[in-house]
Structure 1
């Protein structure tokens, strides 16, 4: 017989449990957070996606590249001048962020490049090392041959016609678009700091005014390569890379020859930006662009050389050559014509540039090297090419600018969708004001030292204006007018999308426009002193290089 008390307690407990269960069922249930998937953004082309939680579209891309090259070495003299092989491995990362606003597209673009580069003279880059983008190895067998390259290649904002940050110079047009080696004559400053505004007029016409960092367009003044030895005046001068002396006559003796010489610091300072103006037209048939640039060319101030061999920042007495500024300028015209009637993808570039005191703008330095007063055109070469934007005249104490021009043609042809070739040629000339070489000859006569003239060989001068004579002066390479030809061709295979396997050969010829110079590689002479005549004078030199590239873009 069931106990009534137990039955009552059990029934009560069951009712309580049911009531509790009903109450729990009525409580709200916490739902899992919805998963926000990455969405494709089709507004700006393939590869863009929305950053989750924003209306900004992002594209990440990059490049991997291997290059191997050969450059002949004409060296017969000197250690370390026999390198011919070159190698490079490169990575590139791009980030492109875009947002649509009431003022149009807001864009930020970032690109970094890093590379391990080896080989003397071309694959490693002295130009990039001079502006801090590359860092050299210091070992006995790697010095000058092994280099790491790390650069902020692009980092700019674009908004409502404004471009601000680090970007390619607006002056440039062709900029080696079809080349593997990339050393035809022409402007190609792919990374500079700038602030620019572009006005679009419709119908493909636009105009840009750009304020650009001057430090990437300064080719230095000509100055002496070595401290002048003590001579008739008993003067010596010490200097460093940041204190480059150039001699100036400050007083004359009764016989008309200089009786004192001072040395002026010709290192340029950053005083004003370069100003670039561009008018451009884009159409289905191609593009046309007219570019102009104005830049300042300045010297930092006077330095007087003393018999004690020091440099004193005192004002010169005979020639007022204190801090002074001249202005360089350049103009460039470019035309690109699409030629689908020949083959899909074919196009032709034509470009020409002229400038005064603006060798980097004309691109006359593209093969030989930038940010140098003079340079070898290849390892163990026969003579140096002089590339200075300006020279301080030692007779007048005033800045005188060089002038240069270049012309380039480049054609890209598709043999088939997988095979293409580029054919290009360029020509340029570099000229210095008349009388400058003779003026430095007068300085050498006054100082009683060949080194003071910086001309490298003995010569005789007399009176003012200078009447230089002697074989040493006649065969000197310093401040000579020169020309250069750079031409090449390539063959590239693209078996799949975004993969290039190619090879390019390039020919270069540098020449003295008037007369001949001593061959640095064969320095034998007949006679002595001012009448020492070189046995093997030369007026041109040639070089050939080849490069193989394997590249994947994504």
Structure 2
């Protein structure tokens, strides 16, 4: 037995030796080297080298749930109102790529925002974002005007040696609702526009920027009395825009023609900024120009068919330059609590309403908006009117002032307190001129209808009560409380109050008298006395859960 065991072991050893000899004769395949992802520490936490390059990349993002409640004063038949709640789920993906060069850091940054939003405009889905192609409406029976999918290329820019080119936040903006959830205060906040800018770093925290910016996202419509502005809440899936916006002007005795008041693109907006960043905070002075460029007079210069006199106005509307200025300061107040800060900001605009941000709460890519459900009268947001006697543009004026304070009760708990006030005004001559053309056009058979955009004939009762081109004000006040139990997780609630009002006089109450604008004659002769209002208000609450990574 012992002999057998020794024989077997010997045989195994022999086979092993032979196998090893054969293996030594076979080619050995070299393992592919593994290139591990390396951490990049040059630009802060989260960056890593893209394998095979010297470019550092950081991937980050956000997930958000938001629900809201807004008071509603009306459930009018067929007007797609009566909702008080809204919800949204949002996502964000950021890619930040940086490479060190002999000229400094070369950076490319892209951000994609997307989400699903439901509920009435102002709480859930946004009609403004649908109008500028950032959201897409559902068209079901119960969904249209209440449901939209949101998609926006929020950022896509390149930075190199002081140059910024691409889609980015406007350099004009300063506060931009940094401490707010809903962003309800009046103030400029164009977070996505196309631009080409150069920033010069002077030293000691001082910098200066010249920016050429896309004017489309800063346009508030030129006033048209015919009310053909695009809408997203009529119930018609096809009524999403217009190709012409006729505005009447006098062309001779008893005659009028039509100017297309949809703005054309020619010059960009020019923005200049001086900014100071110090340990105590920041300060910024901004200025901008904004061209208003309307269309020509139509060839049908005898529209209305009255009179045969000569044409008395030029064949086109002369372009004009709107402008705006803004000043702001941010003061860090760590002596109250670490992280505390105060923003103060003021802006004034002439023919450049979106630079002051007066319409920020409601949006103004149509000339009159009613975000408050059952709103008593519409606010008119127009950069200019077209004088029907001269065919030239008459600009509106607006200003806003905002204050916002962030306070940390503890490292996990913080609150923001904010408020704003703003006004928009039209000259008396501009409104009276629109009343004069109303007096001509409204009496013609087959002439377009004015609807709620009617100005009325100056001196009449209807003119005094019409909502069109009235000087208005807006006041906003609110506060929030946010809990951050762990890093990059926010759970918070915000409430705010918004009041709009007329600076002078009263207007027809559209909620109580929805058909009053069809009763012009009766209002003027006293046979119908409409309900009126001088101000309206709404309260809103937002709840948010947000995780950044």
TM-score, shorter chain, exceeding 0.5: yes
After superposition, give the CA deviation of every residue in 1:77-116 in whole Å (9 maximum; x if it has no partner).
3322211110000000000011111100010101000010
In the other structure, the counterpart of 2:65 is 66
**Cα distance change, pair 164–448 in 1 and its aligned pair in 2 (3 A):** closer
**Which runs of 5 or more structure 1 residues have no equivalent in the other structure?**
1-13, 228-239, 253-258, 311-315, 462-467
Local SS of the residue matching 2:277: strand
Superposed displacement of residue 76, structure 1: 5.1
Alignment match, 2:359: 365
- Residues in 2 aligned to 1:489 and 1:360: alpha-carbon distance in whole angstroms: 24
SS at match of 1:324: coil
Instruction: State how 1:433-512 maps to structure 2 within 5 Å.
Output: 433-449=427-443, 454=450, 456=452, 461=457, 468-512=458-502
Alignment of 1:206-355 (within 5 A): 206-226=207-227, 241-252=242-253, 259-305=254-300, 317-355=311-349
| CA contact 1:185–1:426 (8 Å) conserved in 2 | yes
Output one character per residue of 1:234-277: Cα deviation in whole Å (capped at 9) or x when no partner: xxxxxx7221011101112xxxxxx1111111110110111111
Q: CA–CA distance in 2 between the matches of 1:241 and 1:309?
A: 22
Q: Which has the larger radius of gyration?
A: 1
Q: Distance in 2 between matches of 1:460 and 1:357?
A: 24
In the other structure, the counterpart of 1:54 is 53
**C-alpha contact (below 8 Å) 2:454/2:468 kept by paired residues:** no
8 Å CA contact 1:56–1:97 kept in 2: the answer is yes
Tell me the matched-pair count: 508
Q: Which of 520, 535, 539 in structure 2 is aligned with 1:540?
A: 535
SS in 2 for 1:394: coil
Which runs of structure 1 show a deviation greater than 3 angstroms over 4 or more consecutive aligned residues? 24-30, 304-310, 448-461, 524-527, 531-535
How far, CA to CA, are the matches of 1:30 and 1:190 in structure 2? 55
Quote the RMSD (CA, aligned, Å).
2.5
**How big is each residue's C-alpha offset from its partner over 1:151-180, in whole Å with a ceiling of 9 and x where there is no partner?**
111011101001111110000000010000
Classify 1:321/1:453 alpha carbon distance in 2 versus 1 (closer, same or farther; 3 Å): farther
Aligned to 1:129, the other structure's residue is in SS state: helix
User: Does the CA contact (< 8 Å) of 2:314 and 2:390 recur in 1?
Assistant: no
Deviations 1:452-495 (A, max 9, x none): 6847499975xxxxxx2121111111100000011110000111
Q: Distance in 1 between matches of 2:162 and 2:301?
A: 55
Shift of 1:449: 3.4
Cα displacement (A) at 1:28: 7.6
- Is the contact between residue 257 and residue 302 of structure 2 (CA under 8 Å) also seen in structure 1? no
Deviation digits for residues 502-536 of structure 1, max 9, x if unmatched? 00001000010011111111129899241346442
Name the SS of the counterpart of 1:380 in structure 2: coil
Query: 1:413 & 1:151 partners in 2: Cα distance?
Result: 31
* CA distance, structure 1, for counterparts of residue 543 and residue 181 of structure 2: 8
Counterpart position of 1:408 = 402
Q: CA deviation at 1:34?
A: 2.2
Cα pair 1:457 1:473 within 8 Å, conserved: no
1:435 to partner: Cα distance: 1.7
Distance 1:29 1:441, change over 3 A: same
Distance 1:280 1:457 in 2: 42
C-alpha displacement of 1:73: 1.4
> Is 1:177 paired with 2:178?
yes
| Structure 1 Cα separation of the partners of residues 83 and 159 of structure 2 | 44
Whether the 8 Å contact between 2:64 and 2:544 is mirrored in structure 1 is yes
Deviation for aligned residue 1:48: 0.6
2:506 partner SS: coil
Q: Distance in 2 between matches of 1:329 and 1:457?
A: 26
Q: Which moved more, 1:432-441 or 1:175-184?
A: 432-441
CA distance in 2, matches of 1:317, 1:46: 69
TM-score by length of 1: 0.87
Shift of 1:377: 3.6
1:367-422 C-alpha deviation (Å, 9 max, x unpaired)? 12121211114121000000100110112211111010000000000001111000
